[in-house]
Amino acid sequence: MSDELGLYTRPRVGVVVATRDRPELLDQTLKAIATQDYEGPIEVTVVYDQTETDPGIEVLDGPRQVRVTNNSRTPGLQGARNTGLSMTDTPYVAFCDDDDIWDATKISKQIDVFDADQNCLMASSGINVVFEGERLPRVPTKTRVTFADLINSRMFESTHPSTFIMRRELIDEIGMVDEDVPGGYGEDYEFVLRAARITDVGAVPEPLVEVLWHQASFYAERWQMRIEGLEYLLDTYPEFYDDKEGLARIKGQIAFALGALGKRSETISTAVETLKLDPKQKRAYLAILMAAGVVTPDFLVARIQRHGRSI
């Protein structure tokens, strides 16, 4: 394996990093990408979303290049990622959030996945969730994740977007990130579902990305956005209705968001609907506790985050 000029032993990899007003964190992210042990060129496109670019970070020569641009599409993460994808022509392309840090072996180990299976079009890995000074590993239990797996479970330990690396032909076939997902909520989940319809996702069973979680601060508009994003997923993927556990998971998330909004009757009815599908769905019970005024959403979200989990 070599690049077009025969100068490197492995193919070019493009990395799209969307960023907004986090220069210190972005610097750490770019350093981790630059120090990969990968024996091939890495071309980073940093897309500044709704903020001025910093041309001082550009590196336009050598095996570790960085270029910067502004988001020219829909404001927000979806448009920023698509701006980067449209400017990237490498055989492989990856995403990395501007506050996440790659292990030095990440790209090498994931390209090995593609080398071992020429039919694989997308690879991921495990993560370490970093929250309030704690590192909480989330490691895949499967080395192949199917569409059915992802309908049944979000499989966050296998499908965080900062772990994604894809062959160019996957993007050519399924298209870019969906910019119509309401508020961008669940856009990464929608993207990997769309990909998994045509290819299993190869997962490296190691935490190759450190994912920095910030203290969640939800306001009414964001809870409503979650509901709209989840309903969009259900409309887009009718396969959820063939998997009771998967459907209950989504319904349970909606019930939780309704509880956080203080919509008591809707919360209880959605929670009951959820429990009829899956009596083990914990989100429904938490939603009922909120509807009863026993706990607040902020308390529950904080407790869940401390365990490296999310709603």
b/e burial code for range 268-306 (CB count within 10 A of at least 16 → b): bebbebbbebbeebebbbbbbebbeeeeebeebbeebbe
CA angle 277, 148, 282 (to 5 degrees): 35
Considering the domain architecture, whether residues 192 and 295 belong to the same structural domain is answered as no
Considering the domain architecture, whether residues 205 and 246 belong to the same structural domain is answered as no
- Domain count across the chain: 2
Considering the domain architecture, whether residues 118 and 83 belong to the same structural domain is answered as yes
160, part of any domain: yes
Q: pTM of the predicted model, to two decimals?
A: 0.91
Contact 111, 14 (CB under 8 A): no
241, part of any domain: yes
Considering the domain architecture, whether residues 197 and 231 belong to the same structural domain is answered as no
6, part of any domain: no
**Distance in angstroms (rounded) separating the CA atoms of residues 67 and 30:** 11
Considering the domain architecture, whether residues 153 and 46 belong to the same structural domain is answered as yes
Considering the domain architecture, whether residues 187 and 266 belong to the same structural domain is answered as no
3, part of any domain: no
**Residuewise pLDDT in 10s, the chain (311 residues):** 344 445 788 999 999 999 999 999 999 999 999 999 999 999 999 999 999 999 999 999 999 999 999 999 999 999 999 999 999 999 999 999 999 999 999 999 999 999 999 999 999 999 999 988 888 999 999 999 999 999 999 988 888 999 999 999 999 999 999 999 998 888 999 999 999 999 999 999 999 999 988 765 455 568 999 999 999 999 999 999 999 999 999 999 999 999 999 999 999 999 999 999 999 999 999 999 999 999 998 888 878 877 677 77
Considering the domain architecture, whether residues 147 and 258 belong to the same structural domain is answered as no
Considering the domain architecture, whether residues 183 and 63 belong to the same structural domain is answered as yes
Considering the domain architecture, whether residues 171 and 273 belong to the same structural domain is answered as no
Which residue, among 261, 290, 263, has the nearest Cα to 300 in the 3D structure?
A: 290
CATH classification at residue 145? 3.90.550.10
22, part of any domain: yes
- How many Cβ atoms from other residues are within 10 Å of residue 217's Cβ? 8
| Residue 49, Cβ density class (10 Å: 0-12 exposed, 13-18 middle, ≥19 buried) | buried
Q: What ranges make up the beta strands (E) of the chain?
A: 13-19, 42-48, 64-70, 92-95, 100-102, 122-131, 134-138, 144-145, 165-167, 201-212
5, part of any domain: no
Report DSSP letters for 13-39, one per residue.
EEEEEEESS-HHHHHHHHHHHHT---S
For 292, the domain range is 220-305
Cα-Cα-Cα-Cα torsion 286, 157, 196, 48, nearest 10 degrees, comes to: 90
311, part of any domain: no
Where does a domain end: 212, 244, 269?
A: 212
Where does a domain end: 159, 187, 212?
A: 212
176, part of any domain: yes
Considering the domain architecture, whether residues 128 and 265 belong to the same structural domain is answered as no
